């Protein structure tokens, strides 16, 4: 689902910065999040994700900039006066309270009438499918069940904005994958707008309609998962998301509808103009799954561009695909994915084989060096 409903931005972050002493943790970040959208902040440790989330929640005050939720400037509003709920990585469930009482906690503190509390808690437990577990204590639940209790508790007060900081960080891989989909379904069912933080790109790509890639307090790119993967804005994003081959080179042909880039081992032909780069250094980014391999004995690809001969140095079997590490004539490495579409992998190149690697002129992304 994408967030086409509602028109303008529901959450607006305007040039927000956060300084801790003379260290700038968040640096002039601007962002519009649509109503009902799941938005992910993705970046490596220390890049400022949690700090930004904590400013949305009201636990930190921005050093500069504005945060506007549904048209209301949140400046000066303490966390409990914001229609926002933040779910922490550790879940912070009360160990001595039952599942039911954990979910009811915030509602009781708000002094809601008893029957309303009961109705709301039961509704939330149904939503996260934990009705049979209502009387248990957190330590009697699995990690995934605890995560769902925390989610039910976060949603019980019907926040307009749900903030998730590494929501699945404590779960093992398989459970994580199942829970990601479950979480998305619940969030969409409730219709709450969500900003989540993760350093796991697969998680961001599975759950979010849009992602901001962060580094050193800044947004390097904001876009859909496909956008960020297929059209990375710069070298950092290309390298950070997924696997990629980066080849430095020089633009030697710079036409309206195509270009050629000379790199150490290969001349790249790309099927689009890149205008104005003539003679300049660039980086060609090429994803491993967009490269094809042919045995040396197979007919040589006709065009002498977009092809290079290499030797299979190593291969890593990943089940669905095998990652080949080729050594190119200059000694540089080239990573290639080969889909394992048969069980026996007939004719697949083996270690030590000489092969041709080739690709289409629509496969590369040319980036400023
Ligand atoms: N209260 C604080 N005082 C001083 N520096 C802080 C404070 N909180 C965070 N920082 C610094 O700001 C930077 C960003 O921290 P933040 O917690 O936002 O990172 P993060 O992206 O969430 O990382 P992680 O993925 O490890 O959780 C870090 O360098 C951190 O040391
Ligand atoms: Mg963090």
Query: Residues 219-256: pLDDT tens digits?
Result: 999 999 999 999 999 999 999 999 999 999 999 998 88
Based on the domain organization, do 269 and 211 belong to the same domain?
Answer: no
Q: How many C-beta neighbours within 10 Å does residue 251 have?
A: 22
Summarize the confidence of residues 43-51 as an average pLDDT: 93
- Mean residue pLDDT of the chain comes to 91
Residue 98 lies in a domain: yes
Q: How far is the CA of 50 from the centre of ligand 2 (A)?
A: 4
**Atom 16 (ligand 1) nearest CA:** 48
Based on the domain organization, do 211 and 291 belong to the same domain?
Answer: no
Residue 1 lies in a domain: no
Domain interval for residue 320: 244-368
Q: Which of 217, 238, 259 is the last residue of a domain?
A: 238
Q: How many domains does the chain have?
A: 2
Counted residue by residue, the chain has a size of 369
CATH code for the domain in which residue 294 is found: 2.40.50.100
Based on the domain organization, do 204 and 352 belong to the same domain?
Answer: no
Residue 263 CA to residue 249 CA, distance in Å, equals 4
Q: How far is the CA of 367 from the centre of ligand 2 (A)?
A: 30
**Which of 41, 48, 62 most suits a substitution to test ligand 1, by most atoms within 8 Å of the C-beta?**
48
Q: How far is the CA of 101 from the centre of ligand 1 (A)?
A: 32
**Which residues does residue 267 pair with via DSSP β-bridges, in sequence order?**
262
CATH code for the domain in which residue 190 is found: 3.40.50.300
Is the confidence at residue 295, as pLDDT, over 70?
Answer: yes
The number of the ligand 1 atom at minimal distance from the alpha carbon of 60 is 1
Closest listed ligand to the CA of 46? 1
Nearest alpha carbon to residue 334 among 361, 362, 306? 306
Summarize the confidence of residues 340-352 as an average pLDDT: 88
State the pLDDT at residue 3.
40
**Atom 22 (ligand 1) nearest CA:** 50
Query: Residues 315-326: pLDDT tens digits?
Result: 999 999 999 999
Q: Which of 238, 254, 285 is the last residue of a domain?
A: 238
Query: Residues 147-205: pLDDT tens digits?
Result: 889 989 999 988 999 999 988 877 778 878 888 888 899 899 889 999 999 989 999 99
Q: How far is the CA of 91 from the centre of ligand 1 (A)?
A: 19
Confidence of residue 144 (pLDDT cuts 50, 70, 90): confident
Confidence of residue 289 (pLDDT cuts 50, 70, 90): very high
Closest listed ligand to the CA of 49? 1
Is the confidence at residue 5, as pLDDT, over 70?
Answer: no
Q: How far is the CA of 213 from the centre of ligand 1 (A)?
A: 16
Q: What percent of the chain has pLDDT over 90?
A: 74
Q: Contact at 8 Å (CB) between 58 and 82?
A: yes
Q: What percent of the chain has pLDDT over 70?
A: 97
Closest listed ligand to the CA of 42? 1
The number of the ligand 1 atom at minimal distance from the alpha carbon of 54 is 18
Closest listed ligand to the CA of 63? 1
Q: Which of 220, 238, 256 is the last residue of a domain?
A: 238
pTM of the model: 0.89
Confidence of residue 300 (pLDDT cuts 50, 70, 90): confident
The number of the ligand 1 atom at minimal distance from the alpha carbon of 217 is 14
| Token pair 């496969």 in the structure block, residue | 363
State the pLDDT at residue 90.
66
Pocket around ligand 1 at a 6 A CB cut-off: 20, 23, 25, 43, 45-51, 199
**Atom 26 (ligand 1) nearest CA:** 45
Q: How far is the CA of 281 from the centre of ligand 1 (A)?
A: 35
């Amino acid at each position: 689902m994408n967030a086409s409903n509602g028109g303008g931005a529901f959450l607006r972050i305007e040039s927000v910065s956060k300084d801790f002493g003379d260290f700038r943790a968040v640096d002039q970040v601007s962002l519009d999040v649509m109503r009902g959208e799941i938005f992910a902040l993705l970046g490596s440790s220390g890049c400022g994700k949690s700090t930004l989330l904590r400013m949305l929640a009201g636990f930190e005050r921005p050093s500069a900039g504005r945060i506007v939720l549904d048209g209301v400037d949140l400046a000066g509003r303490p966390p409990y006066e914001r229609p926002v709920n933040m779910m922490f990585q550790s879940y912070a469930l009360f160990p001595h309270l039952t599942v039911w009482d954990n979910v009811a906690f915030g509602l009781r503190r708000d002094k809601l009438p008893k029957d309303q509390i009961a109705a709301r808690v039961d509704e939330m437990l149904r939503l996260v499918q934990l009705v049979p577990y209502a009387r248990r204590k957190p330590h009697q639940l699995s990690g995934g069940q605890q995560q769902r209790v925390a989610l039910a508790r976060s949603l019980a007060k019907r926040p307009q904005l749900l903030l998730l900081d590494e929501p699945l960080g404590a779960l093992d891989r398989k459970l994580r994958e199942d829970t990601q989909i479950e979480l998305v379904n619940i969030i969409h069912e409730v219709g709450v707008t969500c900003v989540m933080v993760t350093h796991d790109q697969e998680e961001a790509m599975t759950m979010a309609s849009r992602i901001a890639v962060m580094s050193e307090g800044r947004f390097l790119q904001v876009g859909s998962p496909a956008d960020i993967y297929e059209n990375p804005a710069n070298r950092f994003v290309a390298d950070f998301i997924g696997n990629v081959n980066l080849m430095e080179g020089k633009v030697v042909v710079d036409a309206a509808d195509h270009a050629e880039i000379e790199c150490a081992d290969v001349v790249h032909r790309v099927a689009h103009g890149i205008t104005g780069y003539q003679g300049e250094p660039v980086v060609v980014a090429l994803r491993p799954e967009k490269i094809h391999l042919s045995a040396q004995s197979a007919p040589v690809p006709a065009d002498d561009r977009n092809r290079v001969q290499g030797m299979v140095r190593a291969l890593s079997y990943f089940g669905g695909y095998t990652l080949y590490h080729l050594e190119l004539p200059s000694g540089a490495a080239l990573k290639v994915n080969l889909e394992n579409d048969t069980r026996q992998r007939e004719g697949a190149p083996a270690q030590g084989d000489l092969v041709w690697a080739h690709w289409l002129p629509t496969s590369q992304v040319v980036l400023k060096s």
